[in-house]
Structure 1
Amino acid sequence: MTSRYSEKNKKRNQNRILNVLIAVVVGLILVFGYQLFFSSEPEAVETTAPGEKNTDTNKSEDNFEVEINDEVVENPEDSENSDELEEKTVDGGGPEGPWEPIGTEQEGAHTSSFEKGTVDWEEKIKALEYATGLSREEGMVIWWLGNGGGPEKARGVVSLPENRNTPYEVYLEWIENEGWKPISVKKINK
């Protein structure tokens, strides 16, 4: 009789230990999964090439935290055809705006692409450069570029390597036949 009781007790203890271990493993999976998707040190998509350095060291960082609404600014130059838009210099820009669509080489129905090297990807990068005043030539690092809440919206996080803890968060919106338009730029603290 006691052996049956001790066997049952032993099994109960083994089950408790196994349940605790399972809970620990699930907890670790959740922690690592959270860190993977919401890490404060995301992996860079692009980095500065060796020998390149930042040429824009005189920028004041006091005025960079700006939240802009998505007001559309009418510009008569935007009625140009797409070939002329490629060569057009877009007025405004920088973190304080105002912003206009950057122009596009894409024709027909737009499909957003987050695949590096596609025309849509390159135009998103161009819009990020325009919105922040940074450039790949200066060593701009693209920490994240992905969906911004809808099929015609994108969100990017960029900075220069030395400003990695205070990157720009930029929201973009696709304007039909005109390209990606920055609608919000703000400096965030990680």
Structure 2
Amino acid sequence: MNYSTRYDQRKKRRLNRLLNVAIGIVAILIIYVAVKVFFTPSASEEVIADLEQEQQQEEQQEQSTETEQTIENDRDIDSTQEEVENEELREEEEDAEEELSDGEWQPIGTVQSEPFQINFSKDHVNWKEMTHAIQYATGLYDDIIIWRIENGGDSMSAVGTVSDAANKNTPYRVRIEWVTERGWKPVEVIKLSSNPYL
């Protein structure tokens, strides 16, 4: 009788141990599943993240395309403006009365360094040197009126339209060209029959 009771007790202990181990395994599995569910991004979150990344890439591509289009438009505008300026020069040439002289001048000298870069800003030394070259070619000094100085068709030439107060309607058009390390040189002076800027 005692023997069966001990046997039952041992059997219960083994069963308890087995149950405890099983409960422990189940608890570990529950914790693992909970971590997976609550702390691992779901498939839908991953899809949303992928979609957001694709949208950002598309926006960057659109911005890049817009920038390229803006640059292309600016080039087209510059090209059109240059064509208009060249057309104005041709029209002025048709109105020209008299070519006074051609290529008889020397470069005026310069304080600018090489490589030369043309600058049409009125407070820049280049503007002063262009004005001086035009004055030298026309003989107009203190009473000169500068109607316009513009690009002469390339980065090493300019064209100025000037007059004095008494001859506003018949200005001079002066072409000057840059001579390396020697400055602006007048190459052509034409007296116009009318002033395109009046």
Q: Which one scores higher on RCO, CA 8 angstroms, separation ≥ 6?
A: 1
Higher Cα Rg, which structure: 2
Higher strand share: 2
